[in-house]
Amino acid sequence: MNNFAAIDFETANREPSSVCSVGIVIVKDGKIQERLYRLIHPIPNYYSYWNTKIHGLTAVDTAQSPAFPEVWAEIAPHIGDLPLVAHNSPFDEGCLKAVFQKYEMDYPNYTFLCTCRASRRVFGKKLPNHQLQTVAAHCGYDLRQHHHALADAEACAWIALQIINP
135: domain CATH number?
3.30.420.10
Indicate if the pLDDT at residue 93 is higher than 60.
Answer: yes
Which residues make Cβ contacts (< 8 Å) with residue 40, sequence separation at least 6? 19, 20, 21, 22, 62, 65, 66, 67, 68, 71
Average pLDDT in the 124-151 region? Answer: 95
Q: Give the tens place of pLDDT for each residue, 26-72.
A: 999 999 999 999 999 999 999 999 999 999 999 999 999 999 999 99
Indicate if the pLDDT at residue 165 is higher than 90.
Answer: no
Do residues 99 and 43 touch, judged by C-beta distance below 8 A?
A: yes
Indicate if the pLDDT at residue 166 is higher than 60.
Answer: no
Number of domains in the chain: 1
The whole domain housing 37 covers: 4-163
Predicted confidence at residue 27, as pLDDT, reads 98
Do residues 126 and 61 touch, judged by C-beta distance below 8 A?
A: no
Average pLDDT in the 94-112 region? Answer: 97
